[in-house]
Structure formats: structure tokens, C-alpha cells
Structure 1
Amino acid sequence: MDNTTHFGFKDVATDDKQSLVKGVFDSVASKYDLMNDVLSFGAHRLWKRYTIASSNVKTGDKVLDIAGGTGDLAIEFRKKVGESGQVILSDINAAMLGEGRKNLINQGIFGVDYIQLNAQYLPFESNTFDCVSIAFGLRNVTDKDQALREMHRILKPGGCLLILEFSKTDSELLKKFYDFYSFNVMPKLGGIIADDEDSYQYLAESIRKHPDQETLKDMVLEAGFGFCEYHNLSGGIVALHKGIKT
């Protein structure tokens, strides 16, 4: 394995990326939801609603939400699985996981388990979960292929993987606007609202380094999934990939 990887547009030692990403999310955790609403004009809530609707999660299912941050998906999954089901909200970052726990308690959502973990090393038995989700987290994982193999391993046969992530738009007009917004507006808003311009510069750069729709689909299939499809949202600025373990 190469000893360097990307952190935004910079090349860094592979072993250092995890701690650098941790620094970003330690910094932005308390303002993460507010920033998501401001930066996406509230659209992230619609993208997540579409993800939940695409999940086929039902009463009694076991669901793992990886990089679940402030708990948006976990809240909705908890409602779907009912008392007989199980939802685990996980994140590599303790500050984000703390915000998620606080958010769920404030909304009266109980019965969710919280685990701090690394997506590349999932501490679960094989064939355990009916659904694994990761929203806006895969691009921060150092070894995405290993993480996808782990997600495949812990899913039951017939289980569903949901990856909601920023992606590539084919519209030149939308691309120009998005590039201007990402690199000129987003970091400035990060500085004003979250007092952290650098972290939002990294987040904008990390989106550009993430694999495009077809590449990520191929990665999901190469990880062992028998089926994968994707749906573009907001003109391809975001895409939802759905993989099924056969």
C-alpha cells in the first residue's frame, strides 16, 4: 500500500490522515448541523430522507450507521425498526458521537447504541446487519476499499449498503457555480459560523478527491456486493449508491 494519501488537495502520510480528519471534526462538531443547513440550503435533509426511503429497512431489522455524526439517519432508522429492532450510531470521532447522542436525547429518541469505531475495522461478527449506511463519511476514510469490504462482511445475505456522498455533476453550469461556491463561499461561511475556515476548505477539497459515481459503483462491486446502483440527487452534486449483498 502506498505510504501517502490525500488530505484534501495535500499529500500526507497515510498514517497521519486519520488524526488530521479527527482534528477537522473535533473543530466543527458543535456547529455541524447548523453548517449543513446553511451550506446545503437545507437540501441535506431531503437527501437523507430519500436515503431512508430507499433503505427497505423494516420492523425488527438491525442497522449500523457509520460516520453517523449528529444522528440524522439514526433517528429515522430507529422509528422504522421499532422496539424489536436495533440501531447502532457509530463515528470515529468522539466529539461528533457526543453531538449525536445529545441530539437524539433532545428529540426523545432512546434505544440507540453508540460505538466509536473506524470504518476500516468493524468490531462485529460477519452476517450481522440488515442495513449499513454511511452518509457524507466515506470520503474521509483512508482506505475506502477496505472499509467497503468490511461493510460487505458484516451485512447479512440480502442486506443493503447505502452510501450517500457528494459526487460529480455533468452540468457545466452547475459545476462552475458549485466550484465557486465550494472554494469561495463555503470556507468563508465556515469562518463566520464555526470559526474555522480551514476545516471547511478541507471539506470542499475532500469532495473533489472522492471517486465519481461509476468509480464508486465499481468499488462497491469489487468489495463483493452482487448488485449496486446509484441515483443522482441535485444534478449529481450528491449521489446515493445502494449495494446488495447476494
Structure 2
Amino acid sequence: DLPSVGTIKVHHPLTGKEWGYRMPGEGRGYTRTPSLIGLWSTAPFLLNNSVGKFNPSPSVDARMQSFQNSIEQMLWPEKRDTDRALGEKIPGVIDRTTAMSYLRIPKGYLPDVVQDLEELNELFLPTIFGEKGIEIGPIPAGTPVNLLANLNLLLESTNPIQQIAHQKKVLKLLFKIKHDLERLPKGASDEEARKVWANVVDPLLELNKCPDFVVNRGHYFGTSVSKEEPGLSDEDKRALIEFVRTF
């Protein structure tokens, strides 16, 4: 049970505004730093392979091209991809939906407590609950994927008081989504849906397990972004690239 690593800076997915998020503690541990051996063969970089251009070819030439593109983005963060919605307001990219969509969860995959209240759910939340399970939408194009994917519906705490308080927050959020979605006309456009979803972004963030949506930020060793030590010169960065290429 490790302590919290402290507060990190995250960014609002609609405005780009920076705010502090207290990292939870009492977890099982953290991912270890990967080895630099064979770095040329494992690009793009970071655990989610978000830094650098992916080349599906297994050839050595293709791997070296991907390595060069990726390592330059690591050492020159300004070369990394930027978000299509917020641009330079945030330090990277947020994965977003590309078309109007719906989130559908079959009844059999719902928590027991939700299935037990099936009739009440269909009566009071017909916009969300139906015979086949849960359907939330329409979700406009450009919605951050992790705004919904990271939603914390089930609290890990075994404290019954905390669980009840959390369930109240979840139900309150569902009622708000229901109320706002009912205001949409049939065949609503992305823009109309976007205005409605803007009202529930902050409540969704409050119940989000990880509100850090920028997928290609971090690991700023040797760059001017790092505040722990001065960045390397361009010449030193080039020399470092040639050195790790041989690992």
C-alpha cells in the first residue's frame, strides 16, 4: 500500500485550463522504468505508444525510421502531436471520438445492484435504461474518450458509508445526463449534442478515475520542460540519439 505521489497538473478537456489533481494512494505499485536495450526496435514510445509515428513494417529500415521520429519527439516535445480541439492550450493530444456515437452496455454486464433495480431504472431513467441495458447518447464527435471510459461507477472502498455516498453521486449524474439528453431534438446535430454534453463534463470529471486525458505528455528528460535539471543542447541530444541507437 504505497502513499500518494502528490498532486499533478491536469487539463480541462473543454477549456484546456490547468488544475491540480491529487493522486490517490494505497495502490499496489507503479510501473517500472523500461529498459533502453533495443530502444530502436520498440518505437513509438511511452507505455501507450503515443510518442512517435508508428510504422507497421517489421523491416529494420522501417523500425529505424520510427525510432528516429519517436526519439526526436521525446527530446524535442514541441514536435509531438497536438490536440485538434485545444491545440497549444494543452501539452499534447486527447483521444476523442471521431463521429456521433452511443455508449451501450448490455444488461448482463451491469452491476448486480443496477440489475436488481431494473424496473425502477426503466421507469425513472427511460432515456438511459431499456430492455437491452444502458444506452447513453448521442455523444457528439470530439468527446474525450476517457471522459466516459475512466468513469468510476464502482467505488473500491469497503466502507459502506463511502459506498452509499458514491452511489448517490453516480445516480445524480445519471439523472442529470437524462435530463439534459431529453432536451435534444430527434436527429440532433453534433453541435446541438455538444452544447448539452458541455453541462455534464465537470460532473463526469468528478467521478473520473484518471482525469489526465493527454496521452502523449511526460518523460521530459533532457528537455527544457523538465524543471529538475537544465535541458541538453541540440548537439548533445543528437549525440544521445546516436548512442542509444546502438543499444
**TM-score clears 0.5:** no
Give the alignment's TM-score, normalised by structure 2: 0.25
Larger radius of gyration: 2
Q: 1 or 2, which has the higher helix percentage?
A: 1
Give the alignment's TM-score, normalised by structure 1: 0.25
